[in-house]
Structure 1
Amino acid sequence: MTTYILLINWTEQGVRNVRDSPKRLDAARKALGEMGGNFKEFYLTMGDHDMVAVCEAPDDAVLARFALTLGQGGNVRTRTLKAFPEAAYREIIHSLG
């Protein structure tokens, strides 16, 4: 499975309905699970992003579909980073020669 980091910000609608956010997180976990992925970690954050999630998915298309599904709800906007574990990082750097 591939690891992805989602940088998440509430929209105005999402902030207005912030008390429903835990229910939306539960629904998002379920949706990603049904797509074959999972949440590894989730954080409420301070700074440029309201929340950060570390997720796994079988491939880029699954994660793209998940992020689009989240966006359709109108409560959050996401930015997705594909994450390479340390072993892959070392292999990539070593391949530079």
Structure 2
Amino acid sequence: MTMYIILINWTEQGIKNVRESPKRLDAAKKALGDMGGSFKDFYLTMGDYDMVAVCEAPDDAVAARFCLTLGQAGNVRTRTLKAFPEKAYRELIGTLG
């Protein structure tokens, strides 16, 4: 499985209904699970982003579909980073000439 770091900000709609956010998180976890992925970690953050999720998905298409699904609801906007775990990082660096 591929790891993704998803940077999340509430929209106007999302912050207006922030009390519903935990229920929306539960629904997002279920949606990603139904697509074959999972949440590994989730954080409420301070700074440029409101939340950060660390997720696994079978491939880029599933990750994209998941983020598009979140966006359709209108409560959050996302930025997604494909993440290479340390082992893959070391292997990749080891191949450099």
Offset, 1:72: 0.1
Deviation per CA, 1:7-54, whole angstroms, max 9, x where unpaired? 000000000000000000000000000000000000000000000000
Separation in 1, partners of 2:57, 2:90: 22
**What secondary structure, in the 3-state scheme, does the structure 2 residue paired with 1:96 have?**
coil
Give the aligned partner of residue 82 of structure 1: 82
The count of residues paired between Structure 1 and Structure 2 equals: 97
Offset, 1:92: 0.9
| CA root-mean-square deviation | 0.4
TM-score (norm 2): 0.99
Which letter maps to 1:64?
A
Q: Does 1:7 align with 2:41?
A: no
Consecutive aligned runs of 4 or more in structure 1 exceeding 2 Å deviation: none
Sequence identity percentage: 82
1:42-81 superposed matches below 5 A: 42-81=42-81
Separation in 1, partners of 2:36, 2:15: 29
TM-score (norm 1): 0.99
Where structure 1 has 5 or more consecutive residues not aligned to the other structure, the ranges are none
Separation in 2, partners of 1:71, 1:12: 13
